[in-house]
Structure 1
Amino acid sequence: MSLINKMLQDLDARGTPDGRGDAAGIRSVPERERGVSRALVFGGAAGLTAAAIALGWVYWKRPPVPPVLVSVATTPVAAPVPPVSAPVAVAPAPVAPARAAEPEPVFQAEEAAPAPAKLRLAELRRITEKPAKPAAALVLKTAAPAASERIIDGKQVTAQQRVENEYRRALAQLQDGRVSDAMLALQQTLQLDPRHQGARETLVRLLLEAQRPDEAARQLQLSLALDPKQPAQAMMLARLQLDKANGGTAALDTLMRSLPHATDNGDYRAFLAGVLQREQRYREAAEHYQLALQTAPDNSVWWMGLGIALQADNHPAQARQAFERAKGLQTLSPQLQAFVERKLVPLTAAVAK
C-alpha cells in the first residue's frame, strides 16, 4: 500500500506549480485506515502455499491401490438389455450371500464383464463349482468305417457304391470307344459283385462282338451257377453250346436247369422244343410247342414246328392240322410257306386213304 500512496503523491505533485499536492484533495491513507496489514496477507499466502505442497506430497507418496477382485459367485452380472421403444423397468438381480466356509474362485472384473458371446452368471457358477473331468477321461468317438466300406479320396464309400462307380466307369470308356479298357473295368465290376447282371450282359455282348464265344460262354456259366433264374442268359448260353459239335446235350442241360423259372415264357419253351427236336426227342418237343402256343396262338412258326414234331412222332393227322394252321395264318416267309405246302402233300394223301 505504501507504493500506491507514493505513486498518488507523485501524480499530485506534478499537477501543482509548487510541486505539492493539495492537502484537501489527495492525501496519504493513514495506516489505521488500510484494513488488513501486509504481514497478515503475506502470512496467509505462505500458509496456503505450504498446505498445497503438503497435500501434493501426500497424494503422490500414497501407496498404489491394488486391483479390485470381484467374486463372480457373489456379485451379480447384469445381462445386456436389448434396446426397446418404451421404457422398461428392470428389477435388480438378487445378490447371493457370500459363503465364508468355502473360498470361491475369483475373476478380474474385466473378465467377468457381460457380453453377448460370454457366459451368463448361472453358467459361470456351474463351471466353477463343478469339478472338471481329467483329460484322460475325455474320449472322442469316431465312426470307424465298416468292413464293407472304404475311404476313397477322403470319402467313405460303401461296397455297393464302389461297384456302381466301376460300372459307370466301364460304360464311359465304352462310350469313348475304349473297348479293351471297358472290358477290364467290367471284369473288375464282376469281381466286386459277381451278381451284377448289367456288367455281365455287357461283357458277354462285347466278347461276342470280339469273336470270343468261349469266354462269353464261360461268363454265362458263371452267372447261371450263381443264379439260374435268368432264362435269357440260359437261352444265350444254349445257343453258344449248340454251335459246338455234340453240344445239344449241354444245351438241353442248360435249358432244363432254368426251365422252372420260365414256365410262362413262350419263347423259352419254343426254343427248348426246337433243341429237343434236334436231339430227336419229338414227343417232348411237341409238348413244349403246344405249351408255347398257349401263350401265342397265332405264331405260325411254332405251328410249323409242332407239325414237324408230330409227323416225326408218327401222328400224321395232327401234323396235317398243325401245318394247315401255319399256312392259313399267312405270316410265314415265302421259303417257309413253300416248305409247309410241300409237307401237306403227302400228309393229305395219307389221310385221304
Structure 2
Amino acid sequence: MSLINKMLQDLDARGTPDGRGDAAGIRSVPERERGVSRALVFGGAAGLTAAAIALGWVYLKRPPVPPVLVNVASTSVPAPVPAAVAPVPVVVAAAVPVVAVEAEPVFEAEEAAPAPVKARPAELRRITEQAVKPAPVVVVKTPAPAASERIVDGKQVTPQQRVENAYRRALAQLQDGRVSDAMLALQQTLELDPRHQGARETLVRLLLEAQRPDEAARQLQLSLALDPKQPAQAMMLARLQLDKTGGGAAALDTLMRSLPYASDSGEYHAFLAGVLQREQRYREASEHYQQALQAAPDNSVWWMGLGIALQADNHPAQARQAFERAKGLQTLSPQLQAFVERKLVQLTAVTTK
C-alpha cells in the first residue's frame, strides 16, 4: 500500500505547477483508510511459509507404509451399500500445496484373516527386490512300450499279432493273384516267426509251382532243422532229394531223422520202405512195408512192394503170398496188375522146382 501511495504522490506532483496536486483530483490515502498494517501482512506471509515448510518436512520424513497383499481370487467383493455421507468442509490455503493420496481398495474376506506382520523397511526391500524363481516344471513321462511290442496306428501290437497280420496279408495277396507279393509276405512272416508252419508250407508250394525246387528244398531244410517233428515236410523234402542224382542217401537221412515222430503213419513207413528198396536195403524195406500194412491192410500197392522186397531178399515163398494178396484186391492199375501176374509166374516156377 505504501508503494501505491508513493506512486500517487508522484503523479500528483507532476500534474500541477507547484507539485502539490489538485485538491479536487487525486489525493493520498490516509493511514487510517489503508486497512491492514504492513507488520500484519508481513507476519501472516511468514507464518504461512513456515507452516508449508513444516508440512513438507513431515510428509517427506514419514515412514513408508508396507504394502498389504490381498488375495482377490479367494475374497468375495461385497455389494456397495449406499449410505448417507455428511458433507465435509474442505479448507484450502493458498500457500499450502495440496497432495492427492490414492487409496487402494481393500476387500473384506469371508473369514477374519490374521493381522499382517509388519516388516522392516530394509527387509521389505530385500523381499520385493528378490528375483522370483520360476516354479519347477513337472515332466510327465509316458511309459514306453515294451521291447516285445510295437506301436502301429496308435495301438500296441504284440509280436504274435504282427506275425498273423503278415500271414493274412500274404493270403489276401494270393487270393488276388499277386503271387510274387504273396511270396514276399510269406518270407516276411517266416522272418518274424520261423516256426510258422502254415506260412512255410504255403511258400514251399508256391516255389514248387514256380519251378524253383532248390529254394523249396532249402525252406524245408530250415524248417526241419528248427523242428524235426514234421513227417509231412520230411517226406516232401525226401521226394525233392530223390529227384537229384545220388540223392537217395540224403533222402534216407531226412526220413530217418523224422521217423520217431511218425511211428503210427502207414504212409510214412511205406515211403521209407520204397527209399530203402531203392538203396538195395531190402530186409529193412520189407520190415517197414509190413508196419505200413498193419495200418492199411487193403493197400494193394504196398502188398506189391512187400513182394518185391521179399523176392530181392531171397524169400520167394513169402514174396509169392504178397503178390497173390495184391492181385486179389483188384485195385491195381492195369499196368501194375500185369506186373504182379508176371511176378507170380516167375515165383511159381521157382517154388515148384
Q: Give me the TM-score of the superposition, normalised by structure 1.
A: 0.63
Residue matched to 1:237: 237
Post-superposition CA distance 1:316-337 (Å, at most 9, x none): 0000000011111111111111
Q: Matches of 1:270 and 1:178 in 2, distance apart? A: 38
Paired residue for 1:69?
109
Q: Which residue of 2 aligns with 1:186?
A: 186
Shift of the 271–136 alpha-carbon distance from structure 1 to 2, 3 Å rule, reads farther
Share of identical aligned residues, percent?
83
Residue 302 of structure 2 corresponds to 302
SS at match of 1:165: helix
CA distance in 2, matches of 1:351, 1:153: 79
Q: Describe the SS at the equivalent of 2:151.
A: strand
CA distance in 2, matches of 1:265, 1:61: 121
Partner of 2:101: none
2:348 corresponding residue in structure 1: 348
Equivalence map 1:329-348=2 (5 Å) = 329-348=329-348
Alignment of 1:152-163 (within 5 A): 152-163=152-163
Give 1:233 shift: 0.3
Q: What residue number does 1:270 align with?
A: 270
- 2:180 is paired with a residue whose SS is helix
Q: Give the match for residue 206 of structure 2.
A: 206
Q: Distance between the aligned counterparts of 1:334 and 1:269, measured in 2?
A: 25
Aligned to 2:110, what secondary structure does the other structure show?
strand
Q: How many angstroms apart in 2 are the aligned matches of 1:290 and 1:102?
A: 110
Name the CA distance, whole Å, in 1 between partners of 2:203 and 2:84: 103
Q: Determine which structure has more spread, i.e. the larger CA radius of gyration.
A: 2
1:143 Cα shift?
3.5
Classify the secondary structure of the residue corresponding to 1:147: coil
Tell me whether 1:166 sits opposite 2:170 in the alignment: no
1:284 is matched with 284
The CA deviation string for residues 276-314 of structure 1, in whole angstroms up to 9 with x for no partner, is 001110000000000111111111110000000000000
* Secondary structure in structure 1 of the residue aligned to 2:220: helix
Determine the C-alpha separation between the residues in 1 that align with 2:293 and 2:261.
18
Counterpart in the other structure of 1:144: 144
Alpha-carbon deviation of 1:243? 0.3
4+ long deviations beyond 4 Å: 59-62, 65-68, 100-103, 135-141
Q: Distance in 2 between matches of 1:307 and 1:102?
A: 119
Change (3 A) 1:70 1:278: same
Distance (Å, rounded) in 2 between the aligned partners of 1:293 and 1:269: 9
| 1:57 Cα deviation from its structure 2 partner | 8.0
The answer for the alignment partner of 2:84 in structure 1 is: 58
Q: Report the 3-state secondary structure (helix = DSSP H, G, I; strand = E; otherwise coil) of the residue aligned with 2:84.
A: helix
Equivalent position of 2:37 in the other structure: none
Q: CA deviation at 1:136?
A: 6.6
What amino acid maps onto 1:58 in structure 2? A
Q: Corresponding residue for 1:121?
A: none
Q: Give the corresponding residue for 2:56.
A: none
Give the secondary-structure state (helix, strand or coil) at the position aligned to 1:190: helix
* Mapped partners of 1:61, 1:188: distance in 2: 96
> Equivalents in 2 of 1:159, 1:265: separation in Å?
34
Distance in 2 separating the partners of 1:149 and 1:297:
53
| Rounded Cα–Cα distance in structure 2 between residues aligned with 1:276 and 1:57 | 123
Question: What is the CA–CA distance in structure 2 between the aligned matches of 1:184 and 1:266, rounded to whole Å?
Answer: 36
1:40-80 C-alpha deviation (Å, 9 max, x unpaired): xxxxxxxxxxxxxxxx9835879xx9755324xxxxxxxxx
Structure 1 position 102, deviation (Å): 12
**How much has 1:142 moved relative to structure 2?**
3.8
Change (3 A) 1:101 1:308: same
**Alpha-carbon spacing, 1:236–1:60, altered in 2? closer, same or farther (3 Å):** farther
User: Where do 5+ consecutive residues of structure 1 fail to align?
Assistant: 1-55, 72-97, 104-134
Gaps of 5+ in 2: 1-81, 89-104, 117-134
Measure how far apart 1:197 and its partner are: 0.7
Matched to 2:170, the amino acid is A
The corresponding residue for 1:88 is: none
- CA drift of 1:137 comes to 11
CA distance in 2, matches of 1:57, 1:258: 108
CA displacement at 1:350 relative to structure 2: 1.9
| Matching residue's letter, 2:168 | R
Distance 2:239 2:311 in 1: 25
Question: What is the number of residues matched between the two proteins?
Answer: 241
- 2:225 is matched with 225
- Residues 216, 61 of structure 1: alpha-carbon distance in 2 compared, 3 angstrom cutoff: farther
The secondary structure found in structure 2 opposite 1:339 is helix
Over 3 Å counting, the alpha-carbon distance change for 1:226 and 1:136 in structure 2 is farther
Q: Which residue of 2 aligns with 1:52?
A: none
Query: How far off its partner does 1:151 sit?
Result: 1.0
